[in-house]
Structure 1
Amino acid sequence: MGSSPARIDVHHHVVPPAYADLLKDKGIRPGGVDVPSWTAERALRLMDRNGIATSILSLSTPGAWFGDDRQARRTAREVNDYAAGVVADHPHRFGFFATLTLPDLAGALAEAEYALDSLGADGIVLLSNVAGCYPYEKDLEPLLAYLHARRAVVFLHPGELPAEPAPGIPSFTADFLLDTVRAATGLVLSGALEKYDGIRWILSHAGGFLPYIAHRVLLTMIRDEPRLAQAKAMVARKRERERRLDVLRRFYFDVALSSTPHALPSLLSFADPTHVLYGSDYPFAPAPAVRFMRQEYEDIALKRRQRAAIDRTNALGLFPRIAGRTTP
């Protein structure tokens, strides 16, 4: 057991009032839930009660694009300016991932440059898909090339599956996890993860169920190789299999809604131990859920150094602005 007063929460959603009104006007319930309210003051109280020193703010699904590129550019700019204002007011408590305008590529490139250079964004948030367009698709390669050159941290958050939800099951329950796996697997199979290895990708919710199906992804990776190479990857020594799987370990994983006695051991048995990060999913996970998941996490037996790495030190390598501060 144990808690850290210095946690860095990489999965904390900002909900600007104007954006909340926009979603309500459009009748959108993100992930199948009502749009939550958010204020910096309530967020800070939640953080203090859960040992969180700094939260990196991000916009959740559905992002900024609703079918109109001009509106998406206005919405992304408003959201990013709002988030930057929160950070300016509380520079030691918040950072932010900038929202882009995908699938509007030109707008996304312009907004990424503005947010990183003018607003000092700590990274970029991308949805696993927008209108059925996934980040690894060829049309979006210029954006990946730009983010690679900037050595950007990219927080990959699930979007709605490009399909109707199953009756009676909110999309956040299972569809979000599947779409994260789709996007991450696509980055691997397309070669984009290795080609643009300057990008540090954070996968939400422990990567969905990616660690659990890592060997299925391995079989997909080698399906077109000669039989001898396939056999070597499957039946040779463990070292060869693990070498093939190391590409998946380039991802970072947050533990938002996944810090449980069943999910966390699966993640920790697979992930690079320096690539696991704390996350709360507030306010879409309301305060009681954040507290419950944090308590579940603290009840799991971890070595002190391992817990400190998840709570804070792993994140410090991604966020130089935060690393440059005095530890709270």
Structure 2
Amino acid sequence: MSFPKIDVHTHYLTPAYREALKKAGHFPGPDGLPFTADWTAEEHLAFMERNNISKAVLSCSSPGTHLIPGDDEFGREVTREVNEYAADLKRKYPTKFGFFASLPLPDIASSLLEIDYALDHLNADGFVLLSNYHGMYLGDPQLAPVYAKLQARGATVFVHPTTPCIAHAYNHSDPPPKRTLDSAPLVDAYMIPMMEFFFDSTRTFVDLLLSGTAAAHPDVSFVVPHCGGALPSVLDRMCAFSEWSHTTYGARDIPEKITAAGVREMFAKQFYFDLAGTPMPSQIHHILRWVKSDRLLYGSDVPWTPYVGAEKSLQVMQLELPKLLGGEEIHGICEGNAARLLAKNSR
């Protein structure tokens, strides 16, 4: 695509992080993948040069940095190492690389410290959160101190899907119902990123909306991955159930009354949607029913999407976007919208 681009959904792996994945049992790869991606800054810069990508905002992908349930110390060590590594890259290539810092969730106390450290000492551009942390989804009330800190800092939060954790997932009922892994027998049947990533990001964003978490923190900007995943397809149904809950069921389980108009207003102020993956030719039509083009961002998803695959997706974008939008809107998707978002946290 002729326009320069800012890539907001792109990843890196440090040598130490690869070893941490092995230690935590993610072998030969995480999330049901038969490999762990190879990555070097030099190869990434070459990909950027070939495809007119002016800047890449790096983040650590699934399974994140708190790799062993219950081992908070290891989570802190891995988190700090990947954040320091990304900060060094940003210092070395200030016009080429930015980064979203990782947090050692579900360790709340350490995450609060890491937010300040990443912003004040590492010059992070925001934070990457996973769709769940060992079953803690992003509307979980235990995360209230984290959101309060992110709100106070006016932070940008890029959310990346990970493997669903159905067995121990947070549930609004008290006590939560007993669950078993049999609740989702196909989770491990196919490569998890192909299908379950979409479902898990949808699950966590529905939780963010219905719990009132997103609305309560209006200065936090959220980046939704993969053109919204399955979220646009369930929004009408979510809004309908919210209405029924407050008119028929006595607001059972849904503290925040959500309407389609309210969702559109919130999206227009607080949410962005990246186009990593396969948003065209079909998926993009769904999100454009909920947002204007000024909320869309370019994303490559390399290196977990192979460089050649990302280039093919870019070719499809080059063919399909002009059928939907004008040149000024396409320029915004490629670069302008992301530049505006990154300027929010610039120091």
- Say yes or no: TM over 0.5: yes
Aligned equivalents of 1:243, 1:158: Cα separation in 2: 25
Aligned equivalents of 1:280, 1:286: Cα separation in 2: 9
Residue 15 (1) aligns with residue 34 (2): no
User: Which consecutive unaligned segments of at least 5 residues does structure 1 have?
Assistant: 228-239
User: Which consecutive unaligned segments of at least 5 residues does structure 2 have?
Assistant: 167-180, 249-258
Equivalent position SS for 2:273 = strand
Residue 256 (1) aligns with residue 276 (2): yes
Residue 91 (1) aligns with residue 94 (2): yes
Deviation at 1:259, TM superposition (A): 3.2
The alignment yields a C-alpha RMSD, in angstroms, of 2.0
Match among 122, 131, 142 for residue 145 of structure 2: 142
Taking a change above 3 Å as real, the CA distance of residues 59 and 167 of structure 1, as seen in their structure-2 partners, is closer
Match among 245, 252, 256 for residue 224 of structure 1: 245
1:106-121 aligned within 5 A: 106-121=109-124
Letter in 1 for 2:133: V
State which drifts further: 312-321 or 78-87. Answer: 312-321
Match among 288, 309, 316 for residue 332 of structure 2: 309
TM-score, normalised relative to structure 1 = 0.90
Is the 8 Å Cα contact of residues 252 and 276 (structure 1) preserved in structure 2?
A: yes
Match among 70, 74, 80 for residue 77 of structure 2: 74
Match among 277, 286, 290 for residue 270 of structure 1: 290
1:264-303 aligned within 5 A: 264-300=284-320, 301=323, 302-303=325-326
Is the 8 Å Cα contact of residues 188 and 247 (structure 1) preserved in structure 2?
A: no
Equivalent position SS for 2:105 = coil
Letter in 2 for 1:316: A
CA deviation map 1:257-304 (0-9, x unaligned) = 033111122222322322110000000000111011100111012310
Aligned equivalents of 1:322, 1:62: Cα separation in 2: 26
Taking a change above 3 Å as real, the CA distance of residues 321 and 43 of structure 1, as seen in their structure-2 partners, is farther
TM-score, normalised relative to structure 2 = 0.85
Aligned equivalents of 1:120, 1:140: Cα separation in 2: 23
Taking a change above 3 Å as real, the CA distance of residues 321 and 167 of structure 1, as seen in their structure-2 partners, is closer
Deviation at 1:319, TM superposition (A): 0.8
User: 1:46 maps to which residue?
Assistant: 47
Is the 8 Å Cα contact of residues 17 and 37 (structure 1) preserved in structure 2?
A: no
CA deviation map 1:166-201 (0-9, x unaligned) = 353111011111110111111110111110111000
Aligned equivalents of 2:150, 2:243: Cα separation in 1: 28
Deviation at 1:241, TM superposition (A): 4.5
Is the 8 Å Cα contact of residues 24 and 35 (structure 1) preserved in structure 2?
A: no
User: 2:261 maps to which residue?
Assistant: 242
User: 1:235 maps to which residue?
Assistant: none
Aligned residues: 311
